[in-house]
């Protein structure tokens, strides 16, 4: 099976173009203000316009106000929302957009029960953060703790070109999601690391 790839936290047009040229499936833009990868909606809209058909734009939020989320949706027209905080299932559903719910693997006891609460989620993004904490930390969680889930699993948290093949072999996720592992600095991606990551995923799929 082909493992889908999402690159998250892009802020520069050259990084978006490089990611698209490598064939990634989704690009994540971070609209959580406390993130070091925050992008203004106007700038993100320009980045989003560089995406060709079949490459998805994902808008990431973390306990943000509804008005802000609506403003971002209006400006950026994301294909998918990603809720990374303590948003409840009704809150996540109120925007009438497909969404991923991040599962905080560092603190959630029963990840399968947690995921079942979000009946409308299109998939679950498993990250190493604790509940209430930020993601994008570049740390790995215990992959043996990944349960069977009723919808697609997006594996995140500390992935890079050196460990993603092992992660795919062990977890067999629908997709992998990376931010820190392809960076020079927060929000600034590295062309060589992006390429190495994609090549490692492709090799793992063979
Ligand atoms: O990237 C961020 O700054 C961020 C902020 C708040 C919530 C989530 C965030 N990022 C998400 O975390 C995963 C894992 O990142 P990493 O590869 O461990 O650095 C990332 O892909 C985003 O989906």
DSSP string across the chain: -PPEEEEE----HHHHHHHHHHT-SEEEEE--TTSTTB--HHHHHHHHTTPPTT-EEEEEESS--HHHHHHHHHHH--SEEEE-SS--HHHHHTT-S-EEEEEETTT-S-HHHHHHH-TT-SEEEEESPPTTS-S-------GGGPPP-SS-EEE-SS--TTTHHHHHHHH--SEEEESGGGEEETTEE-HHHHHHHHHHHHHHH-
Q: What is the pTM of this model?
A: 0.96
What average pLDDT does the segment 24-36 reach?
A: 96
Q: How far is the CA of 137 from the centre of ligand 1 (A)?
A: 6
pLDDT in tens, 102-141: 999 988 888 899 999 999 999 999 999 877 777 778 899 9
The verdict on the CB of residue 81 being under 6 Å from ligand 1 is no
List the domains of the chain with CATH numbers.
Answer: 4-205 (3.20.20.70)
pLDDT at 202 over 80: yes
Q: Which of 5, 6, 9 has the most ligand 1 atoms within 8 A of CB, as the residue to mutate? A: 9
Write down the pLDDT at residue 133: 77
Q: How far is the CA of 11 from the centre of ligand 1 (A)?
A: 13
Active site amino acids: 8, 127
């Amino acid at each position: 099976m082909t493992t889908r790839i999402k690159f998250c936290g892009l802020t520069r047009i050259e990084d978006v173009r490089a990611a698209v040229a490598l064939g990634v499936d989704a690009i994540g833009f971070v609209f959580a203000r406390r993130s070091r990868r925050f992008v203004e909606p106007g700038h993100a809209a320009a980045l989003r316009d560089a995406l060709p058909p079949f490459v998805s734009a994902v808008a990431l939020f973390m306990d943000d106000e509804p008005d802000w989320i609506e403003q971002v949706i209006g400006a950026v027209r994301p294909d998918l929302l990603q809720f990374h905080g303590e948003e409840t299932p009704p809150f996540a559903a109120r925007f009438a957009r497909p969404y991923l719910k991040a599962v905080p693997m560092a603190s959630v006891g029963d990840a399968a029960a947690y995921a079942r609460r979000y009946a409308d989620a299109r998939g679950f993004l498993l990250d190493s953060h604790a509940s209430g904490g930020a993601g994008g930390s570049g740390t790995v969680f215990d992959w043996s703790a990944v349960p069977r889930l009723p919808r697609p699993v997006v594996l995140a948290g500390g992935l890079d070109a050196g460990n993603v093949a092992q992660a795919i072999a062990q977890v067999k996720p629908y997709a992998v999601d990376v931010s820190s592992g392809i960076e020079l600095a927060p929000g600034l991606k590295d062309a060589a690391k992006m390429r190495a990551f994609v090549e490692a995923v492709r090799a793992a799929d063979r």
